[in-house]
Structure 1
């Protein structure tokens, strides 16, 4: 603890001694010590009050500055919000336009495709009966009965176009000329009546024709010649 020495004249000391006794202090030193503490306490309080006042002033200044800054920024914020809304509206319109363009492109593509198909239909000639026969090689009357009413005219046209028409049992058979020639050549090389062996030599269409002609006695196996003979 530090010691402070104060030098005063007799009159001041006597005055201090009176005041010390009046306030209940035993010595002048205690009285001066008390005065010092009180003085320091008041100063601290004053400093604290000053700090509070300074802080309040700063808070007010900051609040004023914030309000002024906000007032300055508000017009720009409003403009930014408005600009954002406009941009969103433009984006929405662009998306709608893109969708409309896509729809138009799809419609245009469909229209072009239909027009092309129509042109192809016009350009591509319709297949005739003989064209179909050339593709199928053989036509059995029972297969076309539900689709062709006037079958007499149909087979007559095929015959005029060079097709072989066979009057088989229960139905007529139209055979493409080249196919018939190759079929007859194959028959000449078949020397067996074994069904499994015959199926190995003939394809499904040829075997169906063979079976029908055999059933109709148009193809007969000659045991002497050991081969199949066509009676047409």
Structure 2
């Protein structure tokens, strides 16, 4: 291997610096001041190259790391936007659901108001209402007073009050007191119907209708408060 080409370098130093170099060269064990100066220069240049290399590597590593961080930050930002969008959609769906629920409740309330019937309307359908069958929560006194004001027939027995639809009551009286000529229950049920027969039984138990075997007629002793 051929020896590297060498170039001369001439330095002009003041007396103090020269003496200092000679002294350092001697203490470092160099027999030649030139060798000592070459070593100092070589170490300096080597250290500089190493520093430059390290700085270059650090710069590249920093750039790579920053690029990766940027990529991950972009991904995180994208995820954040997606999550925020998802929350907005969920809130929008919840608002729609709540609106539908509110609309449904309003519709149910309207339907309830339409289908909810008054006491007198229910009596017209049921024909007869017995006090003993009313729910406990109903104020009985107020209920029967209301039905009486609305024209219902109110029958008072020893055990309870009975509200009867006026039209049904007229048909009941006509059948029981004018047409029926027997005390046979099967025949009476046929003419009065199931509801009329139940009313008949209640009145008979309270001695408000009595059968006269001579005339073969039922006597009307019904205690009516309303329309007779």
RMSD value, Cα: 4.2
**Contact 2:131–2:140 (CA under 8 A) maintained in structure 1:** no
Q: 2:125 aligns with which of 124, 127, 135?
A: 135
Q: Which residue of 2 aligns with 1:231?
A: 221
Aligned residues: 157
Q: 2:152 aligns with which of 134, 144, 163?
A: 163
Work out the CA distance in 1 between the residues paired with 2:218 and 2:183. 9
TM-score, structure 2 length as denominator?
Answer: 0.50
TM-score, structure 1 length as denominator?
Answer: 0.50
Q: Is the partner of 1:203 in helix, strand or coil?
A: helix
Gaps of 5+ in 1: 1-97
Q: 2:139 aligns with which of 139, 142, 149?
A: 149
Post-superposition Cα deviations, 1:210-231, rounded to whole Å, max 9, x if no partner, equal 0011111111112222122212
Q: Is the partner of 2:162 in helix, strand or coil?
A: strand
Gaps of 5+ in 2: 1-88, 223-228
Cα 1:114–1:145 change in 2 (3 A) is closer
Cα 1:208–1:126 change in 2 (3 A) is same
Q: Which residue of 1 aligns with 2:29?
A: none
Work out the CA distance in 2 between the residues paired with 1:115 and 1:135. 28
Report the structure number with the largest CA radius of gyration: 1
Q: Is the partner of 2:151 in helix, strand or coil?
A: coil
Bigger RCO (CA 8 Å, 6+ sep): 2
CA displacement at 1:144 relative to structure 2: 1.4
Q: Is the partner of 1:221 in helix, strand or coil?
A: strand
